[in-house]
Amino acid sequence: MMNKTLFAGIFMLALVLVSCRSDRTKSTGDTAQTERPSVTIPAFNRDSAYAYVQTQVDFGPRSMGSEGHLACKDWLVNKLTSFGAQVSEQSFPAALPTNEVFQGTNIIARINPGHSQRILLAAHWDTRYKAEKDPDRDQRDTPILGADDGASGVAVLLEITRTLQSNPVDLGVDVVLFDAEDQGDNGGQSETWCLGSQYWAKNLTPQDRPQYGILLDMVGAKGATFPKEAISINFANGVLEKVWSLAQSMGYGGYFSNNRVSQLIDDHLFVNQIAGIPMIDIINYNNGFGSYHHTHDDNMDIMDRNTLRAVGQVVLALLYKESVGAI
């Protein structure tokens, strides 16, 4: 009786030990793998993001010095502030190829500003001052509305910020809306583009340095395809593979393609080169930019709520998984 009881006690102890071990690890064959923690990821509201695109377009062109540019800036600052972010404006001189100089403004919204682990999310909020690719030659010197090239990335980031307010995350997030990205000289030096990101990168303080960054550019059009772009591969391949693998596992492989394309001059170039922060570019590019690029066809007619949702949902999932070490 005593031996039987002792055996039973040893057997029960063994079960407890196995049970405790199975809470921490998962055995596959002869290899024990640590299970990653689970996290609830809120849904990205595509209709809300679409409405944010519409509001920006309703201001008209947001080229430097325009009434729409000033009105949109005030709206963006107020909207981000209403979402509980710590918002600041970073002013800088923006010299255009037209020999005009305007005041540019980067809009910086910090979520959980005291958190040491930080992720940078960025987009440009200005629009092109001329439609140089428009089929109507008489319209090529007039500014575009920039529904996709300008408003879409901003709209996704606005909706992400709103979602983070409603569903707090244990992570620091810096949303930066760069100005004067799309004012450059076609065929000229790359430094004539992305003036806001160049200024931001040169003036970043060590305590504000994020772990890595994601740039959103032209992320709302119908039939969009986001390839693996060369600068992203060369400077931030680990981040790129993390995001693309996540997107494909979520069923968004039709948007996030494994196709590789040559480098595209965009804000992430200068964040990588000047600030040394690994940053990728989620940008619509499929053997060239869309037919609407830098034309007056870049309007609400080309926008797609599902494209906005695909990008927004992937970025949201990334943030929440990062917050618990699940990716």
Report if residue 41 sits inside a domain.
Answer: no
Spatial neighbors of 95 by CB under 8 A, at least 6 apart, are 101, 195
The number of beta carbons lying within 10 Å of the beta carbon of residue 291 is 11
Q: Which residue has the higher pLDDT, 28 or 269?
A: 269
Spatial neighbors of 27 by CB under 8 A, at least 6 apart, are 33
pLDDT-based confidence at residue 12 (cuts at 50, 70, 90):
very low
User: Do 74 and 222 fall into the same domain?
Assistant: yes
Bridge partners of 90, per DSSP, are 106
Supply the DSSP string of 232-254, one letter for each residue: HHHHHHHHHHHHHHHHHHTT-TT
User: Do 129 and 154 fall into the same domain?
Assistant: yes
Give the domain range for residue 13: 2-34
User: Do 111 and 218 fall into the same domain?
Assistant: yes
Report if residue 279 sits inside a domain.
Answer: yes
User: Do 208 and 283 fall into the same domain?
Assistant: yes
Report if residue 39 sits inside a domain.
Answer: no
User: Do 28 and 123 fall into the same domain?
Assistant: no
DSSP 324: T
Q: Which pair of tokens denotes residue 115?
A: 């958190």
Report if residue 40 sits inside a domain.
Answer: no
User: Do 16 and 157 fall into the same domain?
Assistant: no
Nearest to 222 by CA among 310, 127, 130: 310
Residue 230 has pLDDT above 70, yes or no: yes
Residue 279 has pLDDT above 60, yes or no: yes
Q: Mean of the per-residue pLDDT values for the chain?
A: 92
The whole-number pLDDT of residue 220 equals: 99
User: Do 82 and 11 fall into the same domain?
Assistant: no
User: Do 212 and 157 fall into the same domain?
Assistant: yes
Distance CA 274, CA 268 (A): 10
CATH number of 161's domain:
3.40.630.10
Distance CA 299, CA 198 (A): 28
- Express each pLDDT in 297-308 by its tens digit: 999 999 999 999
User: Could you give the 3-state DSSP secondary structure of residue 86?
Assistant: strand
Q: Which pair of tokens denotes residue 293?
A: 């690029």
| 272 and 214 Cβ atoms separated by less than 8 Å | no
Report if residue 315 sits inside a domain.
Answer: yes
pLDDT-based confidence at residue 34 (cuts at 50, 70, 90):
low
User: Do 28 and 85 fall into the same domain?
Assistant: no
Residue 56 has pLDDT above 60, yes or no: yes
User: Do 19 and 62 fall into the same domain?
Assistant: no
Q: What is the mean pLDDT of residues 160-182?
A: 98
User: Do 80 and 155 fall into the same domain?
Assistant: yes
User: Do 13 and 55 fall into the same domain?
Assistant: no
Quote the number of domains for the chain: 2
User: Could you give the 3-state DSSP secondary structure of residue 95?
Assistant: strand
Spatial neighbors of 109 by CB under 8 A, at least 6 apart, are 80, 83, 85, 86, 87, 161, 174, 175, 176, 177
The whole-number pLDDT of residue 36 equals: 73
Q: Is 180 left (phi over 0), alpha (psi -120 to 50) or beta?
A: left
Report if residue 227 sits inside a domain.
Answer: yes
